[in-house]
Amino acid sequence: MKLHEYQAKEIFAEAGIPVPESQLADSVEGVLDAVAEIGYPAAIKAQVHVGGRGKAGGIKIATNEDEAREAADAILGMDLKGYTVDRVLVEQGVDFVDEYYVGVTMDRGEGKPVAMVSTKGGVDIEQVAEEDPEAIAQEHIDPAFGLHPYQARKVVYDAGVPAEYARDVTSILSKLYDLYEDNDASDIEVNPVMITADDDVIAADAVMNIDEDALFRHPDLAEMEEDAYQNDLERKAGEYGFDYVRLSGNTGIIGNGAGLVMTTLDLVDYYGGTPANFLDIGGGAKAERVANALDMVFSDENVDSVVFNIFGGITRGDEVAKGINEALEQFDEIPKPVVVRLAGTNAKEGMEILNTDLVQVEATLAEAVQRAVKNAEEVAQ
Instruction: Given the residues 189, 234, 319, 362, select the one marked as catalytic.
Output: 189
Q: Is residue 64 marked as binding?
A: no
Instruction: Give me the helices (H) in 283-364, please.
Output: 287-299, 317-329, 347-353
CA 103 vs CA 16, 124, 170, 246: distances in Å: 16, 13, 11, 25
- 252 is an annotated ligand-binding site residue: no
Q: For this structure, is 362 an active site residue?
A: no
Sign of the torsion formed by the C-alpha atoms of 21, 23, 29 and 33 = negative
Residue 52 is assigned to a ligand binding site: yes
Tell me the CA end-to-end span of the chain in Å, nearest whole number. Answer: 37
Whether a cis peptide bond, with omega within 30° of 0, leads into 41 is: yes
- Please tell me whether 226 is known to bind a ligand: no
What does the alpha-carbon distance between residue 63 and residue 60 come to, in Å, rounded to a whole number? 10
DSSP string, 81-108: TTEE---EEEEE---EEEEEEEEEEEET
Q: Is 16 one of the annotated binding-site residues? A: no
313 in a known ligand binding site: yes
Pairing relationship of beta strands 96-107 and 136-140 according to DSSP bridges: unpaired
Between CA 377 and CA 168 the distance in angstroms is: 54
Is 375 labeled as ligand-binding? no
Q: Is 371 annotated as a binding residue?
A: no
Please check if 182 is assigned to a binding site. no
Query: Which residues pair with residue 59 across a beta bridge?
Result: 45
Q: Are strands 251-255 and 305-312 parallel, antiparallel or unpaired?
A: parallel
> Is 54 known to sit in a ligand binding site?
yes
**282 known ligand binder:** no
CB 139 within 8 A of CB 209: no
Has 105 been labeled as part of a binding site?
Answer: no
Dihedral class, residue 209 (left if φ above 0, else alpha if ψ from -120 to 50, else beta):
beta
Catalytic-labelled residue, pool 101, 165, 177, 229: 101
101 part of the active site: yes
Q: Tell whether 251 is in a known binding site.
A: no
| DSSP tag of 3 | P
Burial class from Cβ neighbours inside 10 Å (0-12, 13-18, 19+) for residue 5 reads buried
Positions at the binding site for Mg(2+): 191, 205
Annotated binding site for ATP: 45, 52-54, 91, 94, 99
Just list the catalytic residues.
Answer: 101, 189
Residues flagged as binding site: 45, 52-54, 91, 94, 99, 191, 205, 256, 313-315
